[in-house]
Amino acid sequence: MAFTETYLPYLLARASHSVSSSFHASLRTWDLSVPEWRVLACLAEADGLAVGQLAAMVMMKQPSMTKVLDRMEAEGLVRRRGAREDRRRVLIHLTPKGRARVKPVLAAARAHQRERLAPFDEAERALILRALQLLIGEG
């Protein structure tokens, strides 16, 4: 068996690309970039996240995250609350416009996930999700 057929980082990268590429392409429908989508998705069920915490969840370095948040705030999708002079202590919140923007995208993401996991039975789906959560340290 070839090394790449059993090498976890390679398999995870390929699986991620396979699962996400078609959905990421559909983000144009909602005029969203992948980082913007990730920000909206992370904030959809949070009551505010620190910039550093959000950057880690969105998989971006904090300076790049700040630029994305600046654009999103200018568009009225998010707002910063807290000490503006120290962005490390600022919490990012969705605005009503941001909530309205992410709602149909979340529905599409859930449908996309159901479609991608359809070949697996319920136990396998649960195992896949649990294993991934454990691998990223959220289990």
Q: Which domain holds residue 39?
A: 23-135
Q: CA-to-CA distance for 12 and 97, rounded, in angstroms?
A: 34
The verdict on residue 2 lying in a domain is no
Instruction: Check residue 76 and report its DSSP letter.
Output: T
Determine, yes or no, domain membership for 87. yes
The pTM assigned to this predicted structure is 0.87
5 part of a folded domain: no
**Cα separation, 46 vs 102, whole angstroms:** 13
SS (HEC) of 11-65: HHHHHHHHHHHHHHHHHHHHCCCHHHHHHHHHHCCCCCEEHHHHHHHHCCCHHHH
Round to whole Å and give the CA distance between 93 and 47: 6
Residue 128's CATH number:
1.10.10.10
Quick check: is 54 in a domain?
A: yes
Q: What is the pLDDT along the chain (139 residues), one digit of tens a residue?
A: 899 999 999 999 999 999 999 999 999 999 999 999 999 999 998 878 888 899 999 999 988 999 999 999 999 999 998 755 565 578 999 999 999 999 999 999 999 999 999 999 999 999 999 999 999 887 6
In this structure, is residue 59 part of a structural domain?
yes
Tell me, yes or no, whether 65 lies in a domain: yes
Q: Is residue 8 part of a domain?
A: no
Tally of domains within the chain: 1
